[in-house]
Structure 1
Amino acid sequence: MMERLVLEQFKAWKNKDKSKRKPLLVTGVRQCGKTYLIKSFGETEFDEMAYFNFDGNAGLKSVFDYDFNTKRIIDELGSIILGKTIEPGKTLVVFDEIQDCSRAIQSLKYFCEEMPELHIIAAGSLLGVALKDEGISFPVGKVDRIDMYPMSFEEFVMADGGGKYIDGLKKMSLEREIPELYTIPLEKYLKNYYIVGGMPEAVKTWTETHDYKEVEVIQDNILRDYADDFSKHTKPDTAIKIKLIWDSIPSQIARENNKFIFSHVKQGARSKDLEDALEWLVNAGIASKLCMVPTPEIPLSGEADYTYFKVYMSDVGLLRRKSNLNYRTILEGDEAFIHYKGAIAENYVYTQLKFMGIESYFWRTKSDAELDFITDYEGVLVPVETKSADNTKAKSLHQFCGRYNPKIAIKSSLKNVGDNMDGATHVWSVPLYTLFRFKEYVYKEMGWK
């Protein structure tokens, strides 16, 4: 089993006092490993697991049609469908693809109130789409939530036999320059992560074969499955718009000024004609919007311009494949690859921040200054400049620090660990392959434990 760091959150949920534990709702982009991890968790942490999949299962859905009597529902699920008793405290109940049964979603409220001793996990890939498009009543305040993502770079390295490097880095002082014993293999792992990405099936194929072509077969299948979902879960005219936006994302990311522009999706197209299609991709978790903050005052969410944004893909490996970028170009480099290499690095940083639960934005002036990412993690304003190689000249970061005087700033590139002062700002050089230590740098700067 490939190690997933989110498993610790599952265990913490299981061990909560029943008076505080609620049904757990696990969401995430399709094929990011939700079902596999939930089943593994059920098999190892509980005496029994009662697994129910609502996808195309009319008989299962009918159990929820009559009323929301939780005892009746559990009795029927156990005795009629499973043929055995579901025992609270011993059995993990799993409702998979729950977006296909609106009443099952509503029932979570009643399980929370009437049967808190029962462990229930509900999962859905297109739940965000269903809640928005179908007007399903969501049990606000009655569920615990965990968002799952494709495997992070840290998880990828551990899956590919590089756990000793991750363990070694975690023991290493944040200030210490990283020796070549680590930098050379980790740079190679980073290139492979750009190629393979973090979709579990692609990672599994890579770790078993180390064959880029085999990985691309898996990636092509995932991309096709995503495209099939457009037509399966939307009306034909909406599906066409979604595909137009989906196909435009790689070129939009690669633009010099990579603000997402609807007219570049289709000539003459207006934002009001395509906004719903883009929101479908966002709600499905396939793509994400990074909004601009013109004035970085905390909280950043209150200053964000939600009409001015970039769009990134949920997985850097799928971006690489969808862009038709040959894996040899990543491995060997090319003078013509310089600009898109930066786009890949930005998408990588965005997904790693998201994996860590860090909400980010970007900053841009009316002239030519732009900062790739800013966050107010734990109430601390942190600008993050991203470079794809070891060139760390960062004019925009310097302007930002001079204007807003943040306590800490991060320059992430292939340059080794280092630090300096830019006015009142402590600027850390953090290699792209150690970005998973981001929170440690903030805690160190603020003197927190």
Structure 2
Amino acid sequence: MKICRDIIERLKQWKDSENRKPILLKGARQTGKTWIMSEFGKECFEYVAEFNFDKTEELNSIFEKTKDINRILKELMLFTEVPIEPGKTLIIFDEIQMCEGALNSLKYFCEDAPQYHVIAAGSLLGVAIRRKKMSVPVGKVQILKMFPVTFKEFLLASDERTYQYVDTLSSLEALPEIILNKLELEYKRYLICGGMPEAVTALLENKGMQTVEDTLQNILDLYTLDFSKYASPVDIPRIDSLWSSLPSQLAKENRKFIYRIVKTGARAREYEDALLWLEEAGLIYRIFNVSKPGLPLSAYQDLSAFKVYACDCGLLRRLAKLSPEVILSGNYSYTEFKGALTENAILQSLVSGNNDVMPYYWSSENRAEVDFVLQFPTMVVPVEVKSDTRISGKSLSVYTNKFNPPFRIRFSMNNLKENDGLLSCPIPLTDWLYKIINLMTTGKNK
């Protein structure tokens, strides 16, 4: 099954741009970077010249000898059966972290040969760059982030009619009950498989839930092997402990990250490098507390208070050993972790839908906590997350009384509605949030 990825449209815009720079594609392992580069090449170019620096180590010598792009291209032609022609050929550098010379060459492609289309990616690229002290040619590449499959992309593949209904919303009106019910079912299925393409495909092709579980477990096992292979010996057990602690960190009513949950007596300075490793690998998101919702939010962040989320809700569910049946049945004992899983999935949507810009969260002397705080160009908006139809709680009211925001957002499984500045948004519509906000504030589609 082919899953249509939104990033293809961004790559098409890049292809036609006059001020094009080589692309450096970043993202967690198994999110589909290699596939998307190849698929984009097949769809938009006459030829695709792919060079994998892990599979073909001889490629490295090309970049050790020269920085001259013409000579590099002549030698690259010896490793491909397709012509390398400006405007007709997509040049793919895969596993580029294995060759520092190739990474540096992106600068010269930008300066001396902008007529060529070059896109590069690598496994654990951020980790490799830091570990090998490699330098990215700043200002000479366009960094593009690859995320797991979003619910929006999942819905298009699983229920196109429902997707089309939602995607063409033109007014802020309650959804028909049949649409809301279909969205709820598909969202439960998405929480089970998450956004890793192989797991999504296994579920949508009805290969069985055990295949989905095995796929997710294989990815988790691969990540564990990466810890051992790419991290320093002192950080390996710390990275593993941090990663394994995510379910228990998020299951707390207050989801603030606490080091003693990782290990008794653990200190922040001992685990900072391990946290940074997981961030650079794209496996976690770290969002910080803000003391007040002022512009810019970064000026008010508290670096000692933060929450940590997984890059993918399906991996988080499998890491927690939560059975798919529990999600589908709505087991009453699943209440607390249901909130954590939902919050994680919503964060994924907020990050991927806003160009990797992290939200923050706000708390007040342990009396109230707003799950997310979003920064728009001229305003700051609070976001509350409720995992089902029950919406009791005082935190959003405390925030509203204290700061008087322009409007508020509450995600739940209730229907779409706006009332006195409070936007009630069904959780499955998170990927359409910015369109819905535009409908609410202007009454028009973007």
TM-score, normalisation: structure 1: 0.95
| Structure 1 residue 136: Cα displacement | 0.7
What's 1:122 paired with?
Answer: 120
Instruction: Report whether the alignment pairs 1:71 with 2:66.
Output: no
Q: Does 1:255 align with 2:256?
A: no
Tell me by how many angstroms 1:181 deviates.
1.8
Q: Are 2:424 and 1:429 aligned? A: yes
Coordinate RMSD, CA, aligned: 1.4
Q: CA deviation at 1:236?
A: 2.7
Give the corresponding residue for 2:17: 16
Distance 1:189 1:405 in 2: 35
The corresponding residue for 1:341 is 338
- List structure 1 runs of 4+ shifted beyond 4 angstroms: none
For residues 336 and 85 of structure 1, the distance between their equivalents in structure 2, rounded to whole angstroms, comes to: 60
Which of 435, 438, 443 does residue 438 from structure 2 map onto? 443
Deviation digits for residues 385-406 of structure 1, max 9, x if unmatched? 0000001234111111222122
Residue 161 of structure 2 is aligned to residue 164 of structure 1? yes
1:257-295 CA distances to partner (integer Å, 9 max, x unpaired)?
A: 211112221111211111101110110001110111111
Encode CA deviations 1:68-89: one digit per residue, 9 max, x unaligned: 11111111001x2125541111
Query: Is the 2:48–2:82 contact (alpha carbons within 8 Å) kept by the matching residues of 1?
Result: no
Partners of 1:385 and 1:394 within 8 A in 2: no
Q: 1:408 touches 1:442 (CA, 8 Å); kept in 2?
A: no
Distance 1:330 1:440 in 2: 28
Asked if 2 retains the 8 angstrom alpha-carbon contact of 1:26 and 1:148, the reply is yes
Residues 338 and 387 of structure 2 are in contact (CA less than 8 Å); yes or no, is this contact kept in structure 1? yes
* Partner Cα distance (1:410, 1:344) in 2: 19
Equivalent residue for 1:287? 284
Partner of 1:297: 294
1:244 to 235, 241, 244: 241
The answer to whether the Cα contact below 8 Å between 2:52 and 2:96 also exists between their aligned partners in 1 is yes
Shift of 1:239: 1.4
The residue type paired with residue 301 of structure 1 is S
Give the SS at the match of 1:92: strand
For residue 216 of structure 1, what is the amino acid of its counterpart?
Answer: E
* Contact kept in structure 2, 1:75 and 1:86, CA below 8 Å: no
Shift of the alpha carbon at 1:333? 1.7
Deviations 1:100-153 (A, max 9, x none): 111211111111000000000011231111222221111111111210100011
Give 1:56 deviation, angstroms: 5.0
Q: Is contact 2:96–2:122 with CA below 8 Å preserved after alignment?
A: yes
Find the partner of 1:181 among 178, 182, 198: 178
Whole-Å separation in 1 of the counterparts to 2:415 and 2:314: 24
User: Could you tell me how far apart the structure 1 residues matched to 2:53 and 2:259 are?
Assistant: 36
The reply to whether residue 97 of structure 1 matches residue 92 of structure 2 is no
Tell me the SS of whatever aligns to 2:58. Answer: helix
Unaligned segments of structure 1, at least 5 residues: none
Match of 1:45 in 2: 44
Classify 1:133/1:121 alpha carbon distance in 2 versus 1 (closer, same or farther; 3 Å): same
Query: Partners of 1:324 and 1:311 in 2: how far apart?
Result: 18
Q: Cα distance, 1:238 vs. partner? A: 1.8
Matches within 5 A, 1:120-269: 120-160=118-158, 162-209=159-206, 211-269=208-266
Secondary structure of the residue aligned to 2:242 is: helix
Quickly say closer, same or farther: Cα 1:111–1:93, change in 2 above 3 A: same
What does residue 32 of structure 1 align with? 31
Which letter maps to 1:407?
Answer: P
The answer to whether the Cα contact below 8 Å between 2:170 and 2:439 also exists between their aligned partners in 1 is: no
The change in CA–CA distance for 1:254 and 1:232 in structure 2 (over 3 A counts) is: same
Instruction: Name the CA distance, whole Å, in 1 between partners of 2:260 and 2:274.
Output: 14
Partners of 2:378 and 2:213 lie apart in 1 by: 41
Residue-by-residue CA offset, 1:342-373 (whole Å, 9 max, x unaligned): 10111011111011024311111113100000
Determine if contact 1:408/1:445 at 8 Å carries over to the other structure: no
Q: Tell me the distance in 2 between the aligned counterparts of 1:14 and 1:33.
A: 20
CA offset digits 1:173-209 (Å, max 9, x no partner): 4421111120111100011111110100001111112
Does 1:312 find its partner at 2:312?
Answer: no
Q: Secondary structure at the match of 1:289?
A: strand
* Deviation of the 1:51 alpha carbon: 0.2
8 Å contact kept, 2:172–2:439: no
Amino acid paired to 1:431: P
Whole-angstrom distance in 2 between the partners of 1:96 and 1:195: 30
Counterpart contact for 2:49–2:82, Cα < 8 Å: no
CA distance in 1, matches of 2:241, 2:171: 44
Q: Following the alignment from structure 1 to structure 2, what is the Cα–Cα distance between the partners of residues 366 and 55?
A: 51
1:414 maps to 413
Q: Which runs of 5+ in 2 are unaligned?
A: none
Q: Residue 446 of structure 1: CA displacement? A: 4.0
Whether contact under 8 Å (2:412, 2:426) holds in the other structure is: yes
Residue identity opposite 2:247 in structure 1? P
Q: Counterpart in 2 of 1:388?
A: 387
Q: Match for residue 398 of structure 1?
A: 397
Secondary structure (helix, strand or coil) at the match of 1:285 reads: coil
Contact 2:21 2:141 in 1 (8 A): yes
Partner letter of residue 14 of structure 2? W
Q: Is the 8 A contact 1:263 1:271 kept in 2?
A: no
What amino acid is the match of 2:258?
Answer: I
Tell me if the contact between 1:75 and 1:85 (Cα under 8 Å) persists in the aligned partners: no
Letter in 2 for 1:26: L
